[in-house]
Amino acid sequence: MGEENKVTLHGMWISPYVNRVQLALKVKGITFEYVEEDLSNKSPLLLKYNPIHKKVPVLVHNGKPVSESFVILEYIDETWNNEPRLFPEDPYERSRVRFWASYIQQVTECMLKVLKDEGQDKALEEFLEKLNVLEDGIKNSSLGIDTNIEGRNMGLLDIMIVVTLGGYKVQEQVFGVKILDPDKTPLLCSWVTSLIELPIVKEYAPPHDKVLSFLHFLKQGGLKTPRN
Distances (CA, A) of 15 to 134, 197, 224: 22, 21, 10
State pTM to two decimals.
0.91
In three-state secondary structure terms, 224 is: coil
Total domain count, the chain: 2
Instruction: Report if residue 26 sits inside a domain.
Output: yes
Asked if 39 and 125 sit in the same domain, the reply is: no
- Do 141 and 37 reside in the same domain of the chain? no
Answer whether residue 85 is part of any domain: no
Q: What is the pLDDT along the chain (228 residues), one digit of tens a residue?
A: 445 689 999 999 999 999 999 999 999 999 999 999 999 899 999 999 999 999 999 999 999 999 999 999 999 999 999 899 999 999 999 999 999 999 999 999 988 888 776 667 788 889 999 999 999 999 998 888 999 999 899 999 999 999 999 999 998 888 787 889 999 999 999 999 999 999 999 998 888 889 988 888 877 765 544 555
Q: Which domain holds residue 67?
A: 7-79
178-185, Cβ contacts within 8 angstroms, sequence gap of 24 or more:
179/111, 180/131, 184/131, 184/132, 184/135, 185/131, 185/132, 185/134, 185/135
Q: Is residue 17 within 8 Å of residue 35, measured between CB atoms? A: no
- Does residue 50 contact residue 67 with C-beta atoms inside 8 Å? yes
Length, in residues, of the chain: 228
State how far the Cα of 188 lies from the Cα of 107, in Å rounded to an integer. Answer: 13
SS3 60: strand
Question: Could you tell me if residue 225 is inside a domain?
Answer: no
Q: Is residue 226 part of a domain?
A: no
Confirm whether 157 is domain-assigned: yes
